[in-house]
Amino acid sequence: MKLLTIAVFTILFWTCVEGVKAQSTGKLKKVVIDAGHGGKDPGAHGKYSKEKDIVLAVALKLGNYIEKYLPEVDVVYTRKTDVFIPLNERAAIANKSDADLFISIHANYISNPKITGTETFALGLHRTDDNLEVAKKENSVIVLEDDYTTTYEDFDPSLAESYIIFELYQNIYLDQSLELARLVQEQFSKRVGRRNRGVKQAGFLVLRETAMPGVLVELGFLSNSNEEKYLSSNEGQALLASGIFRAFRAYKEQFDAKNNLDMPAEKMVAEEKSSEIVYRIQVASSKKKIKQGTSIYRKFDDVFEYQDGNMYKYAIGKASSFDEIRKINAEVKKKIKDCFVIAFEDGKRIPLSEARKKSKE
């Protein structure tokens, strides 16, 4: 093998560091969704399914959730069809779009068919042999690229020695990436009911090349028959996509709140005043708390729970004007016929007439 020299490591290290853009300020406005593999690269194989098909389905569902419930966010896809995209081109798409976040979606395979669960990775040096093997598998796609030894400076995905580069690479977005990974795993575990294999770090080329926070999500193991069935089902794909969506939404809320600390005081006051009255659509109520991942949570991805006396009540949607929420309500009625509009002021429910009077509608 042609080993990378320390001189080459140093050049690569400073090239990567100097090429990283400064963390954007303001609100999170753009996310890149990367469906792993594709085209001539099928990824992992189950008994009857291919990784490339499953992750594309989840990626498209995730993008649809973001476009529907967070329309202010631009969604960029590295692929929307069954095509082969080299790893460096996937990163280039993200970097050229000047995105704020990168989410790469994959499915796993292992020789032991009993192993199940989800795991989410941030870029870093693998701490265990298992993490190294996952990185090797996902990086092995580069051998399908033309002249990959030149493109990736003699990086050989099958050799542990090549991964020394990740000891020198300083990921300035590590904290943000780990936080997103934590949120994804939390959603998978608590809301979707999948086995949590944890947040991990490993040397993924596609994450190394992206100049923004990013994670690589492993949805489950195609080597396990039950998990393959779940991953191949429309319901399973929808629930996994909704889990990533909820994690993304929580991350965005944290991101926006943190960056809004630097906003001029007058602008913050104006935003607070404009958001005092919030309209939502009530879709359910229950004496017992509805378990996340069941019932109404299966129909909607933006469920808001609140208590009214000894009742648990559930609403969806969010708008600052009555006209806007009324349009949303018309669509929701197609699923829940007896839904209706409610209003909140500073987080407390108030009569609808009072809300409309205060907002002069």
Residues in CB range of 4: below 8 A, 6 or more apart: 153, 154, 155, 161, 162, 164, 165
pLDDT at res. 358: 81
**Alpha-carbon gap, residue 182 to 172, rounded angstroms:** 17
pLDDT in tens, 332-355: 888 888 889 999 888 788 888 888
- 60: how many CB neighbours lie within 10 A of its CB? 18
Is the predicted pLDDT of residue 322 greater than 90, yes or no? no
| Terminal alpha carbon distance of the chain | 72
* DSSP codes joined into one string, 199-228: EEEE--HHHHT-SS-EEEEEEEETTSHHHH
> What's the token pair of residue 147?
């002249």
The rounded distance, in Å, linking the Cα atoms of 327 and 304 is: 19
CB atoms within 10 A of CB 283: 22
What pLDDT is attached to residue 10?
42
> Does position 146 have pLDDT exceeding 50, yes or no?
yes
* Mean pLDDT, range 137-146, rounded to an integer: 54
d(CA 252, CA 248): 6
DSSP bridge pairs for 34: 104
Q: Which two tokens stand for residue 124?
A: 């870093």
Q: What is the pLDDT of residue 139?
A: 54
Would you state the pLDDT for residue 131?
44
Give yes or no for a contact between 53 and 125, defined as CB atoms under 8 angstroms apart.
no
DSSP 73-142: SEEEES-SSS----HHHHHHHHHHTT-SEEEEEEEE--S-TT---EEEEEES---SHHHHHHHHHHHGGG
Q: Model confidence over 223-276: pLDDT tens digits?
A: 999 999 999 999 999 999 999 999 999 999 988 887 765 444 444 444 444 447
Neighbours of 348 (CB within 10 A): 8
**CA 112 to mean position of chain CA atoms:** 27
CA distance to 151, 273, 321, per residue, from 278 (Å): 52, 11, 8
Between 96-100, 140-144, 319-323, 332-336, the lowest mean confidence (pLDDT) is in 140-144
| Closest C-alpha among 70, 71, 52, 104 to residue 213 | 104
Residue 179 pLDDT > 80, yes or no? yes
Instruction: Please report, rounded to a whole number, the percentage of residues in the chain having pLDDT higher than 70.
Output: 75
Instruction: Please spell the DSSP secondary structure of 100-119, one letter per residue.
Output: SEEEEEEEE--S-TT---EE
User: What is the spatial distance between Cα 278 and Cα 318, in angstroms, rounded to a whole number?
Assistant: 7
Sheet strand arrangement including 196-202: 74-77, 30-35, 101-108, 214-221, 118-123, 196-202
pLDDT in tens, 83-136: 999 888 888 899 899 999 999 999 999 999 999 999 998 887 644 455 445 455
pTM of structure: 0.65
Please give the helix or strand (H or E) that residue 59 lies within, else none.
helix 51-69
Which structure tokens are listed for 186?
């939390």
Confidence at residue 341, expressed as pLDDT on a 0 to 100 scale: 92
Phi-psi map region of 151: left, alpha, beta (phi>0 left; psi -120 to 50 alpha): alpha
- CA pseudo-torsion sign 101, 105, 110, 116: positive
The pLDDT assigned to 160 comes to: 54
Strand partners, 86: none
Element (H, E) at 357: helix 352-358
Task: Encode pLDDT of 261-306 as tens digits.
Answer: 544 444 444 444 444 788 999 998 888 888 877 788 888 878 888 8
Question: Residue 258: what pLDDT?
Answer: 79
